[in-house]
C-alpha cells in the first residue's frame, strides 16, 4: 500500500485543439485540410460539452485538470482580441473551480493563430512579442481563478517536429530555424513568467506557480560500449535537462512540469555527430511492452528522471503521462507502475506536487488523427457519447484516497 502526500494534485490533461473541435483559425487546422492529412473536425466537441466532461472528472475523484487556452480563438486576427472567446475560458476555469478542481492552464500547446505563419511563425522573433501580448490578455482575466500556469507545452517537441523534421506545420526542415525557434520559445517563457508574476503582484493575488511542460525520455544505452553510454548520457543532458538548466538559471521555474511517456534505446552504428544524436537500436534488444503507437513502456525511467530533478530543489509536477491502447487493462497497469515510481521518488525526497494523466478523454492525436486511444474516458466520434473506462475507475480510487493499493 503506497500513500501519497496530502494535497497531492490528481487529475488529467487535455489541450484545446485536441478536444474542443472546429478550431478553424489555427495553423494546424489549415494544415489538416491538405490532402493526406487527418482533419480534427469537431474533435470531442469539448468546447460545448466541457461542463459534462468536468462532471465526469469530478465523479472520477479528480482535484486538478490541465487544459490549454487557444491563442487562435482569442486573437483570430492579428491585434484583434476576442472578449467573447476570453469569456469562454473564464467560464471554463470557473466550471472547474465550482467542482473543486484546480485548473492548470497552458498558454501554448503546439497550435498558433494562422496569421502568425505569415511572419514565419516562431522562427521570427516578433512571435515572442505577439505571444506575450496574447498571454497578458488571458492572464489578467484568468488570474483570480488560476494559480498554476504552463507557458509552453514541450518546446523541444514543437521545435523539432515543426522546424527540424518538418512533420508538423509549418513543415520546415532547417537546423538553423529550429535553433532560432528553440531560443524564441525560451525567451517567450522567460518574459511570460515575469509578466505573470508582475500581474499577480499588481492584482495583489497570492503568488502564481509558473512552469513549462518539458517532454522527457529515458535514454538507455543498448550495450555497455563507450559510444552508447556517451550518447545516452549526452541526449539525457541536452534533451531532458538543457532547457530546464537554462530556465532555472534565469529563475523562471516555480515548479518543473514533466511530460513522460517512453524510453529510447541508444545504439550507435559508428562515431559521428548525426549518429550521436539520432541512432537507436534497430535489432529489438531489451524488448519492452509498447503502446499502440509503438512507443516503449518503461515506468522505471520516470523514477530515474525524478531522482535527477531533485538537485534543482524545485517542486515537480507530472503534467502528462499516459498510454494509447485498445486494451484498457494495459492502461491501469501503465498508470499504477508509473505511480509506483513516483512514490519511490517522493520517498527519496523529490517534492512531487501532482500527477496528470494524458488524457481525460480520447482525442485528436495530431498527425496520427483519432486512432490512438489515450483517454480515461472513451469517446464515440459519431455520437460524441462519453463512456468511462474501467481504468478510470481504478485511478479514481487513488485520486479519492491518495492510496495506491
Does position 365 interact with ligand FCB (CB under 6 A)? The reply is yes
In our burial notation (b when 16+ CB lie closer than 10 A, e otherwise), range 362-387 reads: bbbbbeeebebbbbbbebeeeeeebe
List the one residue from 63, 215, 240, 291 that touches ligand FCB (CB under 6 A).
215
Does position 151 interact with ligand FCB (CB under 6 A)? The reply is no
Instruction: Return the closest-CA partner of residue 319 out of 109, 122, 118.
Output: 109
CB of 349 to ligand FCB, least distance (A): 28
CB of 136 to ligand FCB, least distance (A): 24
Instruction: Return the closest-CA partner of residue 152 out of 242, 63, 243.
Output: 243
List the one residue from 53, 75, 154, 236 that touches ligand FCB (CB under 6 A).
154
CB of 230 to ligand FCB, least distance (A): 27
Task: Supply the DSSP symbol for 208.
Answer: P
Instruction: Return the closest-CA partner of residue 320 out of 376, 237, 378, 397.
Output: 376
Q: Is 79 exposed, middle or buried (0-12, 13-18, 19+ CB in 10 A)?
A: exposed
Please name every residue paired with 26 in a beta bridge, in sequence order, or none if there are none. 113
If binding means CB under 6 A, how many residues of this protein chain bind ligand FCB?
12
CB of 14 to ligand FCB, least distance (A): 8
List the one residue from 358, 377, 379, 399 that touches ligand FCB (CB under 6 A).
358
Does position 295 interact with ligand FCB (CB under 6 A)? The reply is no
Our CB check for ligand FCB shows the closer of 110 and 200 to be 110
283 Cα distance to chain centroid = 30
Does position 153 interact with ligand FCB (CB under 6 A)? The reply is yes
Instruction: Return the closest-CA partner of residue 50 out of 61, 65, 29.
Output: 65
Site for ligand FCB in 13-52 (CB under 6 A): 15, 18
Does position 239 interact with ligand FCB (CB under 6 A)? The reply is no
Our CB check for ligand FCB shows the closer of 337 and 367 to be 367
List the one residue from 2, 90, 94, 157 that touches ligand FCB (CB under 6 A).
157
| Residue 288 near residue 297, CB atoms below 8 Å | yes
Our CB check for ligand FCB shows the closer of 130 and 366 to be 366
CB of 110 to ligand FCB, least distance (A): 7
Stretch that binds ligand FCB, among 150-158, 174-182, 241-249, 264-272 (CB under 6 A): 150-158
Task: Supply the DSSP symbol for 238.
Answer: I
Does position 240 interact with ligand FCB (CB under 6 A)? The reply is no
Does position 290 interact with ligand FCB (CB under 6 A)? The reply is no
Our CB check for ligand FCB shows the closer of 153 and 180 to be 153
Instruction: Return the closest-CA partner of residue 153 out of 331, 15, 61.
Output: 15
Site pattern 373..402 for ligand FCB (x: CB under 6 A): -x----------------------------
| DSSP letter string, 48-107 | HHHHHHHHHHHHTT--EEEEE--HHHHTSBTTB--HHHHHHHHHHHHHHHHTT-EEEEEE
Site for ligand FCB in 321-350 (CB under 6 A): none
Stretch that binds ligand FCB, among 52-60, 302-310, 333-341, 358-366 (CB under 6 A): 358-366
Number of helical (H) and strand (E) elements in the chain, helices listed first: 15, 12
Our CB check for ligand FCB shows the closer of 76 and 363 to be 363
Task: Supply the DSSP symbol for 280.
Answer: B
Q: Which three cell numbers stand for residue 25?
A: 483559425
Query: Containing H/E element for 301?
Result: helix 299-309
Does position 362 interact with ligand FCB (CB under 6 A)? The reply is no
CB of 208 to ligand FCB, least distance (A): 21
Does position 366 interact with ligand FCB (CB under 6 A)? The reply is yes
All residues at 6 or more sequence positions from 327 whose CB lies less than 8 Å from its CB, including other chains: none
In the 3-class helix/strand/coil scheme, how is 163-198 assigned residue by residue? HHCCCCCCCCCCHHHHHHHHHHHHHHHHHHHHHHHH
| Residue 307 near residue 345, CB atoms below 8 Å | yes
Site pattern 90..129 for ligand FCB (x: CB under 6 A): ----------------------------------------
Binding residues vs ligand FCB (CB under 6 A): 15, 18, 153-154, 157, 215, 259, 320, 358, 365-366, 374
Amino acid at each position: 500500500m503506497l500513500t501519497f502526500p496530502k494535497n497531492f494534485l490528481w487529475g488529467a490533461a487535455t489541450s484545446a485543439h485536441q478536444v474542443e473541435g472546429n478550431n478553424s483559425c489555427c495553423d494546424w487546422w489549415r494544415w489538416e485540410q491538405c490532402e493526406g492529412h487527418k482533419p480534427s473536425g469537431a474533435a470531442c466537441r469539448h468546447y460545448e460539452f466541457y461542463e459534462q466532461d468536468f462532471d465526469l472528472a469530478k465523479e472520477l475523484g479528480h482535484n486538478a485538470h490541465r487544459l490549454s487556452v487557444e491563442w487562435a480563438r482569442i486573437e483570430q486576427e492579428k491585434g484583434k482580441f476576442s472578449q467573447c472567446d476570453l469569456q469562454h475560458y473564464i467560464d471554463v476555469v470557473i466550471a472547474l473551480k465550482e467542482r473543486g478542481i484546480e485548473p492548470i492552464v497552458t498558454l501554448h500547446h503546439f497550435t498558433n493563430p494562422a496569421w502568425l505563419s505569415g511572419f514565419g511563425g516562431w522562427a521570427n522573433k516578433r512571435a515572442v512579442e505577439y505571444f506575450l501580448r496574447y498571454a497578458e490578455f488571458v492572464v489578467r482575466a484568468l488570474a483570480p481563478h488560476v494559480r498554476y500556469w504552463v507557458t509552453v507545452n514541450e518546446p523541444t517537441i514543437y521545435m523539432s517536429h515543426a522546424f527540424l523534421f518538418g512533420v508538423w506545420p509549418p513543415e520546415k526542415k532547417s537546423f538553423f530555424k529550429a535553433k532560432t525557434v528553440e531560443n524564441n520559445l525560451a525567451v517567450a517563457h522567460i518574459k511570460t513568467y515575469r509578466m505573470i508574476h508582475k500581474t499577480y503582484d499588481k492584482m495583489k493575488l497570492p503568488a502564481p506557480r509558473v512552469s513549462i511542460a518539458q517532454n522527457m525520455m529515458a535514454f538507455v544505452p543498448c550495450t555497455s560500449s563507450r559510444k552508447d553510454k556517451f550518447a545516452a548520457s549526452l541526449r539525457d543532458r541536452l534533451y531532458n535537462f538543457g532547457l530546464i538548466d537554462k530556465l532555472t538559471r534565469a529563475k523562471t521555474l516555480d515548479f518543473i512540469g514533466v511530460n513522460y511517456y517512453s524510453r529510447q534505446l541508444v545504439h550507435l552504428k559508428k562515431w559521428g555527430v548525426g549518429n550521436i544524436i539520432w541512432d537507436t537500436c534497430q535489432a529489438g534488444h531489451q524488448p519492452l511492452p509498447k503502446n499502440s503507437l509503438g512507443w516503449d513502456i518503461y515506468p522505471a525511467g520516470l523514477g530515474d528522471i525524478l531522482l535527477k530533478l531533485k538537485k534543482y530543489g524545485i517542486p515537480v509536477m507530472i503534467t502528462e503521462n499516459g498510454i494509447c491502447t485498445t486494451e484498457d487493462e494495459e492502461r491501469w497497469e501503465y498508470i499504477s507502475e508509473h505511480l509506483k515510481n513516483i512514490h519511490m521518488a517522493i520517498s527519496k525526497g523529490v517534492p512531487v506536487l501532482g500527477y496528470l494523466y494524458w488524457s481525460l478523454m480520447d482525442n485528436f492525436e495530431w498527425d496520427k488523427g483519432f486512432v490512438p486511444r489515450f483517454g480515461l474516458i472513451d469517446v464515440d466520434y459519431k455520437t460524441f457519447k462519453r463512456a468511462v473506462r474501467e481504468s478510470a475507475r481504478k485511478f479514481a480510487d487513488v485520486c479519492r484516497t491518495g492510496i495506491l493499493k
